[in-house]
Amino acid sequence: MNLTKPHPIHPQNTQLTAESKTNLSASTPWVDVAIVGAGAAGLMAAYFAAREGATTLALDGASRLGAKILISGGGRCNVTHERVRAEDFNGSNRNLVSKVLRSFGVHDAIAFFRDLGVELKREETGKLFPVTDRAATVLDALVGAVGRAGAEIRTASRVVSVAPIGEGFAVETVTGSLRARRIVLSTGGLSIPKSGSDGAGYAMAQALGQSVTPTLPALVPLLLESGHWLTALSGVSCDATLELRDARGRVRQRVQGSMLLTHFGLSGPAVLDMSRHWIAASSGGEAAIVANFVPGEDFESVEAWIVAEAKAGPRRTLLNLVRSRLSDRLADGLLREGASVAPDTALGRLARDDRRRVVHALTALPLPIAGNRGYAFAEVTAGGVPLDEVDVTTMESKRCRGLFLCGEILDVDGRIGGFNFQWAWASGRVAGSAAGKI
């Protein structure tokens, strides 16, 4: 790659920063496109920028690339989902999200990875994984493709600052300076900071004129009040419908899926999906999560079921009945602790008030959430640069010409199931292709 070739002045960039403010000199190398952050979105952008013929340099602060791709999907990398819609995302305006997703859809992602030699398989849930069940297959294929397209990737090259200069941008890294005609900012969010994404990109975006909406952990396990009886059921997994209710009891969000009880509280897909809603709601006022352990049923139907079963078999115990729907440990806990009713109570001897408490515990158990496990355990970050600050047909900033943004640094977070990677692939593809057209 020719890093010394100067490029013509980029007319849209104003002469904002004097070169004397940076460490630039006449011999400071040039690239057409500098990608800041070579995670999922940055690698995608690097590939497509290089394919356009632009000299492309992807800089990453980590010494080993792709930490998040490697740990994703339990080491198997849930690459995408068979059906991805704007409704699967939160944060910025969904019309804008939809425009980006349409420009590189699920079928494009499947074909893209197939071309790189990565076949995907669909699982029952609709999630798509590499047939190898190895996340490294995805990372290796991407890194190989970026190299073959002619882009250079530099690891251990943390970017410290990006400043506009007349012809483009001055980029300071821990190992030296360079100039770039265009910048793709793809530094991710704040989740799992030890993977390399520690939020530094937000400050860079702000220095370049972007705003950043408040950030919070998303897809993160939730903590129950210390010593809550559910924590004693650590290891139990169940299906549940979770409702987020506001101070007036109105349902603000509803999620159905699998929930895992742990020593600290709650995890599993339904809880992870609910987490960002609870965190956002509880920071602005009172919010409660209520669990229904018999999804699809309500108070009336469960009460009718118990009454009917009591008539059919009055000597049958309550535990025997409830464990026909739930696991033994959960049934026992819900009766004993959730409803304060002895599990060995015969159905025929169940008092009306006791029955109603049982039904309440099964269909609307309040979960006293005490907090969340924070960015160290969050799969994504909610919040970031609002999408309406970029032109979604190119991902170029409307506030700083020559700056492109993609991936998790933007105010877009998907639910669990491959949606966040689809966002990274799609937005990275759009940003890279546009930035590479010099």
Ligand X SMILES: Cc1cc2nc3c(=O)[nH]c(=O)nc-3n(C[C@H](O)[C@H](O)[C@H](O)COP(=O)(O)OP(=O)(O)OC[C@H]3O[C@@H](n4cnc5c(N)ncnc54)[C@H](O)[C@@H]3O)c2cc1C
Binding site for ligand X (CB under 6 A): 36-42, 59-62, 68, 71-73, 77-78, 158-159, 186-188, 191-192, 196-197, 200-201, 379-380, 407-408, 418-421, 424
* CB 417 to ligand X: min, Å: 7
Beta-carbon contacts of residue 236 (< 8 Å; ≥ 6 apart): 260, 261, 327, 329, 330
* CB 255 to ligand X: min, Å: 17
* Torsion (CA) 340, 346, 351, 353 in degrees, nearest 10: 30
Amino acid at 127: K
* CB 275 to ligand X: min, Å: 13
Q: Longest C-alpha distance within the chain, in Å?
A: 91
Strands (E), 104-236: 120-122, 127-130, 152-154, 159-165, 168-173, 176-185, 216-218, 222-224
Return the number of the residue (142 or 259) whose C-beta is nearest ligand X.
142
* CB 303 to ligand X: min, Å: 40
Return the number of the residue (42 or 338) whose C-beta is nearest ligand X.
42
Return the number of the residue (136 or 346) whose C-beta is nearest ligand X.
136
Question: Hey, what are 293's tokens?
Answer: 């352990």
Rounded Cα distance between 435 and 34, Å, is 9
* 422 burial level (CB within 10 Å; 0-12, 13-18, 19+): buried
Rounded Cα distance between 230 and 417, Å, is 26
* CB 223 to ligand X: min, Å: 18
* Count of C-beta atoms within a 10 Å radius of residue 63: 9
* CB 300 to ligand X: min, Å: 39
Return the number of the residue (210 or 241) whose C-beta is nearest ligand X.
210
Return the number of the residue (136 or 307) whose C-beta is nearest ligand X.
136
CA-wise closest residue to 42 among 177, 172, 203, 153: 153
Q: Could you give the strand order of the β-sheet that contains 120-122, starting from the edge strand earlier in sequence?
A: 80-81, 127-130, 120-122
DSSP letters spanning 366-412: EE-EEEE--TTT-SEEE--B-GGGEETTTTEESSSTTEEE-GGGBSE
Residue nearest to ligand X (CB): 39
* CB 413 to ligand X: min, Å: 8
* CB 429 to ligand X: min, Å: 12
Rounded Cα distance between 29 and 4, Å, is 4
Return the number of the residue (79 or 287) whose C-beta is nearest ligand X.
79
Rounded Cα distance between 97 and 329, Å, is 42
* CB 326 to ligand X: min, Å: 28
